[in-house]
Structure 1
């Protein structure tokens, strides 16, 4: 009798366990996100010298996705490495286009890399946003057909170096991805004589400022190799001035200046104790634009952009004003 009872109890326990597992499976299936998946592509460096910049951009993209809830779609980032090289940037762009779930693309993060992927992405039919190529009135413009983002930076540099006592401006570094300014056009935008400095560093004059268009490590190499050339003149960089690679590779203690695009969203975050680096802000805003394009909505009105200036001294950047 005891054996029969034990057998009976064992059968009940087994049946109860099976029913419990079945119920858990049903609950798990019910809780699983069954919405269609939409991917936002990101082309950025995740290996090599600039990997920190890439991971900072990915964090900004994830934050933008988290702060832009979608009821109809599950949005996930698809980040591919370009190692800050043209060849890998092209491969990353090609891989993103193979995935039908990729509805929009953000990146690359530098003008020279954008030039390298232009023929891959320009006619692909997938919305494409380059973080630095802003539309000053708000939102983003085509990095291939709009020059406002670069013209306004050049104009701001020109105004700054005139206040700093420079009589002319030399453009240096890799100009790939920047507008093809000739001397007349560059001078008109900057408001003072402007030329492109090729390899004739010896031609720099003491009253000539420099605006660097290339990468951060190349700027450091240039300054390290020619510490005395134009040492008394202002040296300005674009957004790459905020990259830690510049300060890590710089062997001189010279004061540098850089500028980038910012908006009131950046100010709100700083004042709200939620700091976000200017480069991360650009990726954050580009992701929001990419989300709107992917979901055919407008979640938040675009905020106008402004040029933000910084002075880099002893490895630390702080805001810079023309009154200094």
Structure 2
């Protein structure tokens, strides 16, 4: 596959994935934005609510949207291969039915809003299969066999901020009961609350944002978790949705090279050898200071500027504070 063909497949896939992501909010939400999943039901029609623990919510969300993903893949001419093991990358491999050389990696990434403007994900390992791109350890196919690597992002607001399963409740719903059935007051030692309809039960999450993004375009230059070799995403929600990450103006090649060398390349700073863990240091290490202006950084007003421009503005403000203009035109 030549570069032109590869870019055409990527462009077409991203366009379809964007349209699919736009439809998912209505699929998982009620009219007022609540999650349509209220809990689990047993054969006695007891509804057990779930906690807002991120692992539980993410797994149920994946199950909830999976039938839609299958339909989507089939509608655009792809089949889906699931990761053979839980910790393998990616969650889903899209393989084009009429050309199996075309493969796309798709990870489903779910997280809650930290506030109105920020959220974040981990974007997979920068060790193992990421470095040894022709190997298939912990990955469905070798990394370099994928035409592109994408995330289906899901951002939501937590209604119930408790992760404690002991805080979950049991409900019986009048609209599900037959006329002859008497509502139960207890299940074991736990009380049962009777409500009129399912909508009366508060959903643990609400207000969904679904988006599709190419992985490298939403990556930061920081690890996503403490002791594990995971790539962290940027945090600004608008930037996530617009694929406006720190590498987005530099290109995928720089993303690859930086993360392959993260924590192993050494630079001398203040006379001391220091592991490179920032993109700025890495570009200086590569003697490519002319590219510093392409590092995307956040500034006030939620506007995106290059670090070079941001530094210039900051320096100008500092200078004005130190040497304010005097009245009468003299400094």
TM-score (structure 1 length as normaliser): 0.25
Would you tell me which structure has more helix in proportion to its own residues? 1
Would you tell me which structure has more strand in proportion to its own residues? 2
TM-score (structure 2 length as normaliser): 0.25
